[in-house]
């Protein structure tokens, strides 16, 4: 193995047969053939058998096993076989569920898997990280997740956080020089390692190792850290199941003793206890919750909201504040230069004249202190930056004459030799002719970007950035063909123009330069000569207005947080409906001056934060959370990660977001669109509501069974059902309607309600009372059927009770679809419910009408009248519940 850090990068490239242009497609194929894809092998998953067996490690299942053993000694030993068959079936279902859930998580993970920018065939392209091969040239920028190990070949102030590998949380400054000697991994500062994050600067890196050959791939066990995948809801249901199991055991014991006191035989008493336990255990509950959640996340992914953390699905329903970035999320991020302020005039970009030296220098600045590019008409990089390139490309070329005091090199190398009038202006030619010597990349804290180039044969620093930052650093101005001290009236005029642009919602960039031989450092970003302003429009997304309105109706406050100028931000916020009369707008500086108490007091009224730094975002989240809100915060930059983590739901941008921000978030917007968050909230509320309704359905049905068995044991009746009956209902005829309830589509009413209180669990007192009441209704109908049957004999009583309970629960599925009555919900909106009902009726019909099954299910002979009685009684509870809902 080559110790890449010791070798000169050029030699290494030669050795690996790569040029600066990157690999060719052919080379890539050959290499991939040899080393495979750039993937880390996942931790060994539980085997199918292990998953299957783990299904039996559940208290409720253990109770069922005990029930099976007891049944073996009863008159009806077939029950044992049935219970065991049911347990096995249940475990198979559980296993299938588990594997499916893993798969759907896997595909969600695929959707949010990182990408990498690389050079191939001389072109910079973006590819999924698994396609990177050794020999590729990785292009790293702040915010990137490094996806392979590599040797830095060109370094521009790169700083990397390698904590995932070394545990060291401070950032490492990198170099492209060769290092000597055997140095430990953490000190190989000319190398980057897979899994690290670029926090600052830029670099080109020759990939040396991929996949399992990377350092992180070699650390066995690292990927084995299985993440906690249970959501709060699942945890609280687990807790509930635990309590339920204990409760069941106690009640079963009581019933057993009651029977013994009434001189029921030991085995029959035991069977009563068993029936009760089986009636009470909601066998399908766990898998129903998983299924409904899986359906929900699938639906969200198809609507561009990729859930990374299942917890988010539940929290989404509680969101009461959404803090959203402006650029690209609320706006289209389609920047177009609208106005230019240069030489004291406001002109439109098509009036730019390249023969005017001042204009030309402004344009050079715009394209040289700029990292974006345009390939096949599509911008790559920051939209703010490629708007400047588009402006450049649209400048009329015939205005340009050679040798007008501009950049000689530029003119020599491109213009004279080319038929320039025929050609579109191309920034790449300019960039090649005027190479960059040094640079300080843009960051949203500093709000500036500077490069040093050789212009007019002199080393010149070109800077662009936010006016409020840059103007303070200008000591001179270039105007009327001369450079002079900047006066107060110049400054006032510039600020006035800036305000004018901002009031129109334009995003303003300012430009300045200086000639300087000194090293380009952040400290030296001063003493500039002011050149001009370029203002661009970024129209609000059409959907934003409606989405903000919907959020408002849903009791959710939308807050705009932007790095842009305050006036621009207010202008856009007004257009979208975020900023209303009486609202406040605050800048990052003003926020810094506010105490936490003051912020806490004012926060409800502040709807726009401008010129904020990423640190400000954390304070904003905290202040809202202190008021008891569940906060969603969007972010895209590398510095946004802490705020994204701090928020209850961190939302990263799928298109423009850095890998770092995606890593820190619990949801990714595949389309960067604010409106998608609102859709996700509606979906989140829907998932929660559906789960709640499915639980209501399952538990109220079980409650009916419990009440019947309890009643029979107290009053001294024979058992109304056998264990097999109850298992049949719980596992077969109840599961389908429960899943159908879980598939209830989301509707507008969901966004009319206030956000859910996050502290309130599902099993509230009100919820439990409802379960009891509905269970009692079904129980009464069931016992009525029992008494009708009892007039003939106990066998018919049991048959009628069983059939009535089954069908009543099938009808009850319709009640649990939502708060409203079926008339308002409409039958056709959830066809699955009808299918589930039909299937359930088919199952019970098979049991009732196929004589071969009568022995096993203890079905007695019945008449057509009995059937009508069963149907009638089974329908009564639903009729009553529907009438109550109507009222
Ligand atoms: P949001 O947080 O809503 O996405 P934003 O994109 O406007 O807002 P930043 O990207 O942090 O926030 O930009 C803040 C300011 O920095 C802008 O208003 C602009 O003046 C300046 N700016 C933005 N991009 C660049 C850039 N590439 N080079 C120099 N200055 C820039």
The answer to whether the beta carbons of residues 672 and 746 sit under 8 Å apart is: no
Q: What is the pLDDT of residues 162-200, one digit of tens each?
A: 877 776 767 889 998 888 888 888 788 999 998 888 888
The answer to whether the beta carbons of residues 744 and 686 sit under 8 Å apart is: yes
Q: Which of 152-166, 326-340, 345-359, 618-632 has the lowest mean pLDDT?
A: 152-166
Ligand 1 within 6 A of CB of 444: yes
User: What kind of architecture, by CATH, is found in domain 1-224?
Assistant: Distorted Sandwich (2.70)
Higher pLDDT, 81 or 781: 781
Q: What is the pLDDT of residues 395-409, one digit of tens each?
A: 876 645 433 334 433
Ligand 1 atom 24 nearest Cα: 384
User: What kind of architecture, by CATH, is found in domain 231-300+680-886?
Assistant: Up-down Bundle (1.20)
DSSP code per residue over 610-626: ES--HHHHHHHHHHHHH
> What would the two tokens of residue 296 be?
């929900």
The answer to whether the beta carbons of residues 2 and 208 sit under 8 Å apart is: yes
Residue 533 CA to residue 22 CA, distance in Å, equals: 37
Domain segments of the chain as ranges: 1-224, 231-300+680-886, 305-332+540-672, 336-537
Average pLDDT over every residue of 569-585:
93
Q: What is the pLDDT of residues 19-60, one digit of tens each?
A: 888 888 888 999 989 988 888 776 566 788 888 887 777 766
Q: To the nearest whole number, what is the mean pLDDT of the chain?
A: 85
Q: What is the pLDDT of residues 593-614, one digit of tens each?
A: 999 999 999 999 999 999 888 7
Average pLDDT over every residue of 619-644:
89
Ligand 1 within 6 A of CB of 490: no
Report the Cα 545 to chain-centroid distance in Å.
22
Q: What pLDDT sits at residue 414?
A: 40
- Ligand 1 atom nearest residue 564's Cα: 18
Higher pLDDT, 4 or 343: 343
Higher pLDDT, 403 or 439: 439
Higher pLDDT, 854 or 781: 781
> Which class for 611: exposed (0-12), middle (13-18), buried (19 or more C-beta within 10 A)?
buried
pLDDT surpassing 90 at residue 573? yes
Nearest alpha-carbon partner for 844 in 701, 730, 728: 728
Q: What is the pLDDT of residues 777-811, one digit of tens each?
A: 999 999 999 999 999 998 999 999 999 999 999 99
Q: Which of 87-101, 493-507, 866-880 has the lowest mean pLDDT?
A: 87-101
- Ligand 1 atom nearest residue 382's Cα: 27
Nearest alpha-carbon partner for 573 in 340, 335, 323: 323
The answer to whether the beta carbons of residues 401 and 355 sit under 8 Å apart is: yes
Ligand 1 within 6 A of CB of 566: no
The conformation of residue 337, written as its DSSP 8-state character, comes to E
Angle between helices 674-715 and 285-302 (to 10 degrees): 170
507-515 and 197-209 beta bridge pairing:
unpaired
User: What kind of architecture, by CATH, is found in domain 336-537?
Assistant: 3-Layer(aba) Sandwich (3.40)
Ligand 1 within 6 A of CB of 617: no
Q: What is the pLDDT of residues 226-243, one digit of tens each?
A: 344 566 777 777 777 788
Q: Which of 262-266, 296-300, 312-316, 511-515 has the lowest mean pLDDT?
A: 262-266
* Best residue for ligand 1 mutational test, from 326, 564, 607 (most atoms within 8 Å of Cβ): 564
User: What kind of architecture, by CATH, is found in domain 305-332+540-672?
Assistant: 3-Layer(aba) Sandwich (3.40)
Q: Report pTM.
A: 0.77
CATH topology of 1-224 equal to that of 231-300+680-886? no
Ligand 1 atom 1 nearest Cα: 562
Q: Which of 196-210, 486-500, 721-735 has the lowest mean pLDDT?
A: 721-735
Q: What pLDDT sits at residue 78?
A: 73
pLDDT surpassing 60 at residue 637? yes
Cite the active site residues: 325
Ligand 1 within 6 A of CB of 588: no
Which residues neighbour 741 within 8 Å (Cβ) at sequence distance 6 or greater?
690, 693, 694, 697, 813, 816, 817, 833
């Amino acid at each position: 193995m080559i110790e890449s850090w010791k070798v000169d990068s050029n030699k290494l490239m030669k050795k690996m047969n790569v040029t600066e242009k990157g690999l060719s497609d052919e080379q890539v194929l050959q290499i991939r053939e040899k080393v495979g894809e750039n993937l880390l092998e996942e931790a060994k998953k539980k085997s199918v058998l292990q998953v299957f067996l783990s299904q039996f490690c559940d208290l409720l299942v253990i109770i069922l096993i005990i029930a099976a053993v007891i049944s073996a000694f009863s008159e009806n030993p077939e029950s044992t076989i049935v219970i065991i068959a049911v347990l096995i079936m249940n475990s198979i279902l559980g296993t299938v569920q588990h594997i499916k859930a893993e798969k759907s998580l896997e595909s969600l993970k695929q959707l949010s898997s990182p990408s990498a920018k690389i050079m191939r065939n001389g072109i910079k392209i973006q590819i999924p990280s698994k396609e990177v091969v050794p020999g590729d040239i990785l292009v790293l920028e702040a915010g990137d997740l490094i996806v392979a190990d590599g040797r830095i070949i060109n370094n521009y102030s790169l700083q990397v956080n390698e904590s995932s590998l070394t545990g060291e949380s401070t950032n490492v400054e990198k170099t492209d020089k060769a290092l000597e000697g055997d140095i430990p991994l953490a000190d190989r500062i000319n190398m980057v390692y897979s899994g690290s994050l670029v926090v600052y600067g830029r670099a080109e890196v020759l990939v040396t190792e991929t996949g399992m050959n990377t350092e992180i791939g070699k650390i066995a066990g690292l990927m084995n850290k299985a993440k906690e995948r249970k959501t709060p809801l699942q945890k609280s249901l687990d807790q509930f199941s635990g309590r339920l199991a204990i409760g069941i055991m106690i009640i079963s014991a009581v019933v057993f003793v009651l029977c013994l006191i009434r001189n029921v035989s030991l085995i029959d008493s035991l069977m009563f206890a068993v029936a009760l336990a089986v009636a009470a255990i909601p066998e399908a509950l766990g898998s129903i919750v998983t299924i409904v959640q899986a359906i929900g996340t699938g639906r969200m992914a198809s609507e561009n909201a990729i859930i990374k953390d299942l917890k988010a699905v539940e929290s989404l329903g509680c969101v009461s504040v959404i803090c959203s970035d402006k650029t690209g999320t609320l706006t289209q991020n389609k920047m177009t230069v609208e106005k230019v302020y240069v030489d004291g005039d406001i002109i439109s970009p098509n009036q730019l004249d390249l023969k005017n030296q001042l204009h030309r220098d402004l344009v050079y600045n715009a394209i040289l202190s700029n990292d974006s590019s345009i390939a096949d008409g599509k911008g790559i990089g920051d939209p703010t930056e490629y708007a400047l390139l588009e402006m450049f490309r649209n400048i009329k070329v015939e205005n340009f004459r050679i040798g007008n005091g501009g950049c000689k090199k530029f003119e020599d190398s491109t213009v004279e030799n080319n038929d320039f009038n025929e050609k579109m202006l191309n920034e790449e030619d300019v960039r090649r002719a005027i190479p960059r010597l040094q640079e300080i990349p843009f960051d949203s804290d500093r709000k500036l970007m500077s490069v040093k180039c050789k212009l007019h044969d002199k080393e010149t620093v070109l800077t662009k950035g936010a006016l409020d930052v840059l103007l303070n650093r200008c000591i001179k101005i270039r105007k009327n063909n001369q450079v002079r001290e900047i006066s107060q009236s110049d400054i006032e005029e510039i600020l006035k123009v800036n305000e004018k642009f901002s009031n129109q919602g334009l995003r303003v960039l300012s430009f300045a330069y200086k000639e300087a031989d000194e090293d380009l450092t952040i400290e030296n970003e001063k003493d500039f000569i002011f050149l001009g302003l370029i203002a661009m429009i970024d129209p609000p997304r059409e959907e934003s207005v409606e989405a903000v309105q919907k959020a408002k109706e849903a009791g959710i406050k939308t807050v705009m947080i932007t790095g842009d100028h305050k006036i621009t931000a207010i202008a856009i916020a007004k257009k979208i409906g975020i900023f209303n009369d009486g609202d406040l707008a605050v800048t990052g500086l003003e926020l810094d001056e506010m105490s936490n108490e003051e912020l806490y007091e004012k926060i409800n009224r502040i709807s726009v934060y401008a010129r904020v730094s990423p640190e400000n975002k954390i304070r904003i989240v905290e202040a809202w959370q202190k008021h008891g809100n569940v906060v969603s915060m969007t972010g895209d930059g590398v510095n946004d990660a802490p705020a994204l983590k701090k928020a209850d739901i961190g939302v990263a941008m799928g298109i423009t977001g850095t890998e770092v921000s995606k890593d820190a978030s619990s949801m990714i917007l595949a389309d960067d669109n604010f409106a998608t968050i609102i859709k996700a909230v509606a979906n989140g509320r829907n998932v929660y509501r559906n789960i709640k309704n499915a639980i209501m359905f399952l538990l109220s049905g079980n409650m009916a069974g419990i009440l019947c068995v309890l009643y029979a044991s107290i009053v001294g009746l024979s058992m109304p059902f056998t264990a097999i009956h109850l298992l049949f209902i719980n596992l077969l005829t109840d599961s389908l309607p429960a899943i159908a309830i879980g598939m209830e589509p989301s509707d507008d009413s969901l966004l009319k309600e206030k956000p859910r209180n996050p502290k309130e669990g599902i099993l509230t007192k009100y919820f439990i009372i409802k379960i009891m009441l509905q269970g009692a209704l079904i129980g009464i109908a069931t016992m009525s059927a029992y008494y009708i049957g009892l007039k003939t004999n106990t066998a018919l009583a049991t048959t009628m009770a069983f059939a009535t309970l089954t069908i009543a629960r099938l009808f009850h599925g319709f009640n649990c679809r939502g708060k409203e009555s079926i008339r308002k919900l409409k039958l056709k909106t959830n066809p699955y419910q009808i299918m589930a009902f039909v299937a359930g009726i088919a199952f019970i019909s098979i049991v009732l009408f196929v004589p071969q099954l009568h022995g096993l299910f203890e079905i007695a002979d019945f008449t057509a009248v009995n059937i009508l009685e069963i149907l009638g009684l089974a329908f009564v509870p639903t009729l009553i519940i529907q009438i109550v809902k109507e009222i």
